[in-house]
């Protein structure tokens, strides 16, 4: 059956992603000094203002404003009359509510909620192809800007990829959309030619492109004003970009700016770890996992599995395996994945999943799980 699925990504210069990166840079700087710190840091960026707000409980002394300006400069907002690294910064940080802290201190979940994980065989990293390609295009867009290959580009940008499937098998890329911020000098024809040559053709395998593939490069026209000057940014507003591109459900919370006692983040990472190992083991070819928690309670209140008919065992039997083989208590998750370390800045742009070097992307349990196939 012929069908189409679309996912999008954004560059590190997108205003929402800029806020995510500042929030996670702050978390990492605090964790370098105090691994047991409690953090819930959010940012709001608009025109020439940045607000850093939230809850932090720690003995660490960090310079929030300095971290923010370093992140802004790293992303590249240093051009022209409007250079966001010169923005006014307000800090509104207070300590964590004692009511929340009490439940977490007893080793329970830091909040109620449901979290999802997912994995499939469409790509080497066991991610859906549309979001994998969208991220790679966004990364390449930033790469050709920073390397000077396309020096007229600016930090803001978005990508979108539509893949045509035959049943569950990806067959071709049907549509690619790239919106790239640029300076005042480049023409639209030059921009389109360069993006296709230096970004799209460098990333998308030629076997997935054909004469019917549609390319929309800056389809609304010129894109000179971008970042916080053009649109406000907010931490946690790109949750589908952060996860699986809409292929599976998403829980109630965002990730960036939070320490690992927040199950919104840590349990979502654990769910991905479990799903990836299940697929790598051969127990299924595709799987979505939901776990849910009550605040202050360590054990999840539910574990739900859907293998979309690809499981070698029933979904209920795989759920039982998960409960038996993986400790889903928050502090066990933290220990299993090493989440007290300052690892979060690497997740703040181009997705939290499908990247090498992250503990929840390991498939070190796959061989052991194969025993259930016998």
Give the residue carrying structure tokens 């009550």.
Answer: 294
Q: Mean pLDDT, to the nearest integer, of 283-300?
A: 95
- % of the chain at pLDDT higher than 90: 88
pLDDT digit string, tens, across residues 296-353: 899 999 999 999 999 999 999 999 999 999 999 999 999 999 999 999 999 999 999 9
Q: Mean pLDDT, to the nearest integer, of 104-113?
A: 71
Quote the pLDDT of residue 80.
66
Mean pLDDT of the chain: 94
pLDDT digit string, tens, across residues 234-275: 999 999 999 999 999 999 899 999 999 999 999 999 999 999
Q: Mean pLDDT, to the nearest integer, of 18-36?
A: 97
The whole-model pTM stands at: 0.95
The Cα–Cα gap between 293 and 152 comes to 48
DSSP H or E segment with residue 160 = strand 153-166
Quote the pLDDT of residue 78.
84
pLDDT digit string, tens, across residues 37-81: 999 999 999 989 999 999 999 999 999 999 999 999 999 988 765
pLDDT digit string, tens, across residues 203-243: 999 999 999 999 999 999 999 999 898 899 999 999 999 99
88-94 β-sheet, strand order:
88-94, 49-57, 38-46, 233-234
DSSP H or E segment with residue 120 = strand 113-120
CA-to-CA dists, residue 186 to 87, 148, 150, angstroms: 27, 14, 10
The Cα–Cα gap between 131 and 138 comes to 10
């Amino acid at each position: 059956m012929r069908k189409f699925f679309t996912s999008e990504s954004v560059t590190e210069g997108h205003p929402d992603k800029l806020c995510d990166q500042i929030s996670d840079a702050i978390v990492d700087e605090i964790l370098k000094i105090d691994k047991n710190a409690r953090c819930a840091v959010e940012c709001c960026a608009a025109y020439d203002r940045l607000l850093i707000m939230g809850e932090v409980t720690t003995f660490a002394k960090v310079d929030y404003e300095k971290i923010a300006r370093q992140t802004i400069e790293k992303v590249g907002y240093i051009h022209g009359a409007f250079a966001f690294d010169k923005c006014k910064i307000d800090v509104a940080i207070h300590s964590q509510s004692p009511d929340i802290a009490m439940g977490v201190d007893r080793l329970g979940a830091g909040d109620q909620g449901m979290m999802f994980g997912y994995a499939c065989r469409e790509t080497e990293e066991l991610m859906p192809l549309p979001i994998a390609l969208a991220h790679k295009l966004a990364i390449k867009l930033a790469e050709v800007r920073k390397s000077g290959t396309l020096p007229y580009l600016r930090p803001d940008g978005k990508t979108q990829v539509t893949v045509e499937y035959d049943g569950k098998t990806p067959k071709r890329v049907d549509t690619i959309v790239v919106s790239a911020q640029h300076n005042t000098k480049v023409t639209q024809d030059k921009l389109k030619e360069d993006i296709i040559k230096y970004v799209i053709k460098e990333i998308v395998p030629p076997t997935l492109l054909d004469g019917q593939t549609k390319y929309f490069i800056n389809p609304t026209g010129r894109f000179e004003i971008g970042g916080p000057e053009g649109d406000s940014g907010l931490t946690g507003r790109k949750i589908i970009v952060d996860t699986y591109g809409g292929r599976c459900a998403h829980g109630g919370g965002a990730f960036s700016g939070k320490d690992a006692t927040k199950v919104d983040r840590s349990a979502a990472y654990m769910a991905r770890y479990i799903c990836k190992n299940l697929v790598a083991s051969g127990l299924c070819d595709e799987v979505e996992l939901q776990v849910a928690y009550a605040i202050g309670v360590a054990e999840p209140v539910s574990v739900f599995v859907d293998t979309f008919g690809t499981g070698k065992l029933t979904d209920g039997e795989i759920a039982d395996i998960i409960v038996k083989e993986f400790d889903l208590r928050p502090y066990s998750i933290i220990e299993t994945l090493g989440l007290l370390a300052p690892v979060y800045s690497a997740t703040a742009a181009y997705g939290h999943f499908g990247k090498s070097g992250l503990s929840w992307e390991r498939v070190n349990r796959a061989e052991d799980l194969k025993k259930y196939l016998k």
